[in-house]
């Protein structure tokens, strides 16, 4: 089974609210024959498109090969949250890598948000909006979040997090499901597909070539490397892999370290006065299988929740409606106008996996649900690495991403067991 086609039609965006409101989804031709390039990029999500943009801006000949359409993958389907920091907190990173690397990694994450903001400013329909609220289920989580926010202010100079008590949280979110929260004013949310489409247009304007409906079937290492598709091949001095959850077994060293999982979103009908949020912020709660939501400019609730670990998506409306109604029981009668899923990649530690599987092949993936900013940054960082500036690639690669136990054969059953256990803890409230 190939995840590129398991739940989707060839070359078609999923039936998302994002696809329904996309700006500039121009079609591009597939690869034909043999093409020579300085860099061949596989995958036209944030990772691949940002790499292409930054390489083309430096004058390199770049060809991007995309199995479906630009922004077709997780980049065109996600919750749009441009979160702060790395995926794991600074305490975890400092304990493993020491203070110097931890500071560098925080800086990279801050620059990642700034990069998305700067890029989005020139892109139609990206709708950058500041503010991501975190909602907590247990008093101990509120305490831990307060301590962490204080530490970020003291040791990292990050003073954007505003604590919210129980009633402020209820007032902001329009629900009493949470005991407290915080608002990260330095984080933001965007229209994710329009960000990807804008990146594609910017990369082409800088000189990159993007070819769609071109699935890469094999990567033959060498100097130069050959990237083979059904209808042609690209011979390139460097290769960048930006395939994330859809990588399959294209590169075994990466495949052993990241693992695809599915996540789902629904969009309600426009809710008018019943729209629950009192401010245009995005929200994520503290469940292991996280619920996240926000409102669209036309007053729909976009609610994400539920996860699956198999090839095929479940009944998405049923999967997401359940957690949505736990938070907002008043929406029991609200019509669901759009429901879609996407596949992302996680690593065993939940750190992103930056790897150089061959001397001239670079890969970044496994952002573990924290890729809107970091994948965009990863593209820039890999572009830097190709022209010899490797400091940022090297520090990202020091974040530990061991192989999944059992390799690609057993990673799936082991993960399903572990995830099911944590999801059960969510349901039991422990």
Ligand X SMILES: Cc1cc2nc3c(=O)[nH]c(=O)nc-3n(C[C@H](O)[C@H](O)[C@H](O)COP(=O)(O)OP(=O)(O)OC[C@H]3O[C@@H](n4cnc5c(N)ncnc54)[C@H](O)[C@@H]3O)c2cc1C
- Residues near ligand X (CB under 6 A) are 4, 42-48, 65-68, 72-75, 77-81, 83, 215-216, 242-247, 250, 263, 265, 292, 304, 342, 344, 365, 367, 369-372, 375
The answer for residues whose C-beta is within 8 angstroms of residue 110's C-beta and 6 or more apart is 84, 158, 186
CB of 143 to ligand X, least distance (A): 25
Our CB check for ligand X shows the closer of 42 and 161 to be: 42
Our CB check for ligand X shows the closer of 224 and 305 to be: 305
Please identify the residue of the shown chain whose CB is closest to the bound ligand X: 371
CB of 100 to ligand X, least distance (A): 26
CB of 362 to ligand X, least distance (A): 13
Where in 137-258 does DSSP place strands (E)?
161-164, 180-189, 209-211, 216-220, 225-229, 232-241
Our CB check for ligand X shows the closer of 155 and 311 to be: 311
Our CB check for ligand X shows the closer of 65 and 301 to be: 65
CB of 268 to ligand X, least distance (A): 16
CA separation for the pair 298, 283 (Å, rounded): 18
For 73-93, give one letter per residue: b (16+ CB within 10 A) or e.
bbbbbbbbbbbbbbbbebebb
Q: Residue 291 carries which DSSP code?
A: -
CB atoms within 10 A of CB 120: 22
Our CB check for ligand X shows the closer of 181 and 245 to be: 245
Exposure of 206 by Cβ count < 10 A (0-12 exposed, 13-18 middle, 19+ buried)? middle
CB of 153 to ligand X, least distance (A): 23
Our CB check for ligand X shows the closer of 17 and 367 to be: 367
Q: Residue 146 carries which DSSP code?
A: H
CB of 214 to ligand X, least distance (A): 6
CA distances from residue 273 to 51, 168, 277, 298, 350 in whole angstroms, order as listed: 43, 20, 10, 11, 39
């Amino acid at each position: 089974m190939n995840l590129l086609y398991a739940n989707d039609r060839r070359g078609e965006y999923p039936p998302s609210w994002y696809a329904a409101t996309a700006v500039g989804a121009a079609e591009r031709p597939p690869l034909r024959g043999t093409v020579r390039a300085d860099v061949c990029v596989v995958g036209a999500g944030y990772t691949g498109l940002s790499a292409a943009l930054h390489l083309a801006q430096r004058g390199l000949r770049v060809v991007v090969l995309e199995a479906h359409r630009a922004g077709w993958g997780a980049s065109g389907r996600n919750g749009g949250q441009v979160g702060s920091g790395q995926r794991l907190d600074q305490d975890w990173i400092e304990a493993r890598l020491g203070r110097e690397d931890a500071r560098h990694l925080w800086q990279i994450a801050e620059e990642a948000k700034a990069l998305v903001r700067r890029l989005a400013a020139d892109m139609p329909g990206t709708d950058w909006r500041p503010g991501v609220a975190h909602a907590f289920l247990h008093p101990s989580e509120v305490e831990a979040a307060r301590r962490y926010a204080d530490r970020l202010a003291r040791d990292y100079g990050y003073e954007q997090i505003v604590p919210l008590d129980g009633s402020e949280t209820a007032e902001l979110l329009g629900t009493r499901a949470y005991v407290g929260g915080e608002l990260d004013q330095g984080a933001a949310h965007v229209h994710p597909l329009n960000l990807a489409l804008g990146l594609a247009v910017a990369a082409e304007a800088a000189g990159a070539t993007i070819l769609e409906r071109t699935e890469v079937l094999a990567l033959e290492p060498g100097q130069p490397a050959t990237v083979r598709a059904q209808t042609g091949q690209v011979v390139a001095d460097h290769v960048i892999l930006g395939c994330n959850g859809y990588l399959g077994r294209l590169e075994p060293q990466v495949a052993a370290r990241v693992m695809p999982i599915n996540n789902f979103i629904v969009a309600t009908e426009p809710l008018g006065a019943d729209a629950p949020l009192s401010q245009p912020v995005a929200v994520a709660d503290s469940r292991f299988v996280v619920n996240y939501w926000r409102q669209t400019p036309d007053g729909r609730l976009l609610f994400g929740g539920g996860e699956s670990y198999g090839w095929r998506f479940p009944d998405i409306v049923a999967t997401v409606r359940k957690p949505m109604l736990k938070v907002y029981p008043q929406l029991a009668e609200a019509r669901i106008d759009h429901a879609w899923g996407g596949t992302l990649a996680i690593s065993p530690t939940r750190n992103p996996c930056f790897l150089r599987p061959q001397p001239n092949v670079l890969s970044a993936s496994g952002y573990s649900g924290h890729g809107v900013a970091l994948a965009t940054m990863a593209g820039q960082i890999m572009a830097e690495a190709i022209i010899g500036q490797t400091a940022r690639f090297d520090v990202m690669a020091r974040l530990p991403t061991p192989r999944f136990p059992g390799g690609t054969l057993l990673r799936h059953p082991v993960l399903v067991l572990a995830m099911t256990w944590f999801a059960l803890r969510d349901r039991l409230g422990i």
